[in-house]
Structure 1
């Protein structure tokens, strides 16, 4: 069974962590991944740095710029992940922009994901219809799930179509903004979460954007199968101190 599907069958209140490959240092990608699993993270999204990250706020943009200067690329990332499945068991997702993947080659990318044990990909700027028409068969061939984002502005019919045509999870963007930790949930957000829940989707859902502490994690878990934390964790990686100890303390503080 796909590791993503198995995870959602086995656990509740999933904690997914996003970080940028090659940040803060080029060789940190896999050590961070190992520490996250040992510390209690359930799912990890590794960001592929890109020179024009339109959906990212300043914290993740900075990490991407640093990673690119460090020498990170898709080729380097796949080299780093070559033996990762001998060390890490939890589901692994790559998140990036379609231009990077297109340059690598769609089929070559999907095949390499399968080879190293990547379970899914998130490509925020890949139009859903283009995915269905041109790429879905290729990703299905290699058993790689595509996860798509929905926002408070996404119509019910489109949410249902995404649910019908994908098999990972639904990424519920908490608000129509770039990434970045924020405080509290608005009435509009709560109404949005309730609306999505009323659709009775087949796929599980995780809420991302604006989650960065125990309170926001616990709150969002009331409305979905779990939460995604990105900017708050990436900010932590840039702080001084023992990296692995910082990660362990962070995950403990989120889960409580």
Structure 2
């Protein structure tokens, strides 16, 4: 059983996955950010590998990626930083990014180095299902990593079931087809999540995109195992000289 699966075995609901951008707000921030997230109630940390052309990310995360790239963040730097933190991080670590820089790094090397650095799972939104099945999935599994697919309200029931079957760890339910960081109509999201519940999926479901505060977190958790917060947390870190304090205040505003 993976670390992510162990988490869901112990805690069935109100799982909080918090996204942060590697190299933001400073090149060496990641250890401080993860420590603050873990100490203040986050269950999973999702680390974004900054990329110059992020398809699914809204303006807040895009801006944080540009800052991180300007700070000198690369996949190699991130994996070295995480390797140095190994044994100090107790919550699951998921890397989120795009295929182009991963392929430039070397896919097999990336998976091996990520696993060696203590990474538990991967989210690569532009890795197609067919390529996952025929080429990359076996490499991911060989290195003991979970892989999380994304589904949207427009994903057909048959495809949801297929992607759930291919995923391990959890299934990422995108609350709409837009980019991250935008407001959502939670009534339609409720209907969508209730529909997903009816599919009797094998994986837990975490909801992402538009989750920003206690109200939206609570609503997302009503029909899922938990939620993913990204842009709102990036905003909380923006211009902060005290990462621990800003992180604590933000998480307590969501969870308390």
Give TM-score, length-normalised by structure 1.
Answer: 0.97
Deviation at 1:71, TM superposition (A): 0.2
Does residue 196 of the first structure (1) align with residue 196 of the second (2)?
yes
Deviations 1:109-140 (A, max 9, x none): 11011111101000011111111111011111
Does residue 112 of the first structure (1) align with residue 113 of the second (2)?
yes
RMSD, matched Cα: 1.1
3-state SS in 2 of match to 1:86: coil
Flag structure 2 segments of 5+ consecutive residues without an equivalent: none
Distance in 2 of aligned mates of 1:227 and 1:85: 25
Distance in 2 of aligned mates of 1:91 and 1:104: 23
Distance in 2 of aligned mates of 1:181 and 1:8: 27
CA contact (8 A) 1:181 1:232 kept: no
After TM superposition, the structure 1 = structure 2 runs for residues 99-248 of structure 1, keeping only pairs within 5 Å, are: 99-182=100-183, 184-186=185-187, 188-248=188-248
Number of residue pairs the alignment of both structures matches: 255
Distance in 1 of aligned mates of 2:86 and 2:157: 37
Deviation at 1:239, TM superposition (A): 3.3
Q: Which residue of 2 aligns with 1:3?
A: 3
Q: Which residue of 1 aligns with 2:47?
A: 46
Deviation at 1:189, TM superposition (A): 2.0
Flag structure 1 segments of 5+ consecutive residues without an equivalent: none
Distance in 2 of aligned mates of 1:161 and 1:171: 13
CA contact (8 A) 2:175 2:184 kept: no
Deviation at 1:191, TM superposition (A): 1.8
Give TM-score, length-normalised by structure 2.
Answer: 0.97
Distance in 1 of aligned mates of 2:132 and 2:103: 12
Moved more, 77-86 or 87-96: 77-86
Deviation at 1:240, TM superposition (A): 3.4
After TM superposition, the structure 1 = structure 2 runs for residues 89-100 of structure 1, keeping only pairs within 5 Å, are: 89-100=90-101
Deviation at 1:163, TM superposition (A): 1.4
Distance in 2 of aligned mates of 1:60 and 1:206: 19
CA contact (8 A) 1:184 1:216 kept: no
Distance in 1 of aligned mates of 2:49 and 2:202: 28
Moved more, 58-67 or 235-244: 235-244
Q: Which residue of 1 aligns with 2:64?
A: 63
Distance in 2 of aligned mates of 1:95 and 1:28: 17
